[in-house]
């Protein structure tokens, strides 16, 4: 197999101070599944529902870097650099990498990265039929859903 990167599952995103390419190809997906003990669909669901593990986030990013063309040594070093940062800072990136592997990405307009939207206007939504109520009483940590 050649080292060609197909655009249907590639995510170009900012990470570690520069724009980087991420892709989970078949080999990286297999390794991610082995490391996390879950199938790619389960990993996607865990990330989306905030039921993720540390490995779901960091192994996805590390393997995504490798699949995108970064050497294994550099990918590991980049992931280790942020090991003490809050996971929530990197959850959207991990989610987009796994989602691209599962669902693919929408082809970008010429000159635009595939992960950036082409429309900067807000989506059309219908107005709320319920007027906003007063904020809950008490400090935020006592609010219940």
Q: How confident is the model at residue 38 (pLDDT cuts 50, 70, 90)?
A: very high
Give the Cβ contact number of residue 131 at 10 Å: 5
Which among 66, 69, 68, 58 has a CA at the least distance from the CA of 93? 58
What's the pTM value of the predicted model, to 2 decimals?
Answer: 0.71
Q: How confident is the model at residue 121 (pLDDT cuts 50, 70, 90)?
A: very low
Q: How confident is the model at residue 140 (pLDDT cuts 50, 70, 90)?
A: very low
Q: How confident is the model at residue 111 (pLDDT cuts 50, 70, 90)?
A: low
* Domain locations in the chain as residue ranges: 7-114
Please give the Cα distance from 10 to 81 (Å, whole number). Answer: 23
């Amino acid at each position: 197999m050649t080292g060609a990167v197909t655009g249907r599952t590639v995510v170009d995103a900012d990470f570690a101070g520069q724009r980087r390419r991420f892709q989970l190809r078949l080999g990286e997906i297999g390794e991610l599944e082995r490391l996390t003990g879950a199938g790619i669909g389960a990993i996607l669901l865990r990330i989306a529902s905030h039921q993720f593990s540390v490995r779901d986030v960091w192994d996805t990013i590390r393997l995504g870097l490798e699949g995108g063309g970064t050497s294994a040594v550099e990918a590991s070093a980049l992931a280790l650099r942020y090991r003490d940062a809050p996971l929530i800072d990197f959850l959207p990136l991990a989610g987009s990498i796994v989602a691209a592997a599962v669902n693919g990405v929408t082809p970008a307009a010429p000159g635009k990265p595939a992960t950036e939207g082409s429309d900067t206007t807000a989506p059309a939504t219908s107005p709320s039929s319920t007027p906003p109520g007063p904020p809950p009483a008490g400090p935020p940590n006592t609010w219940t859903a």
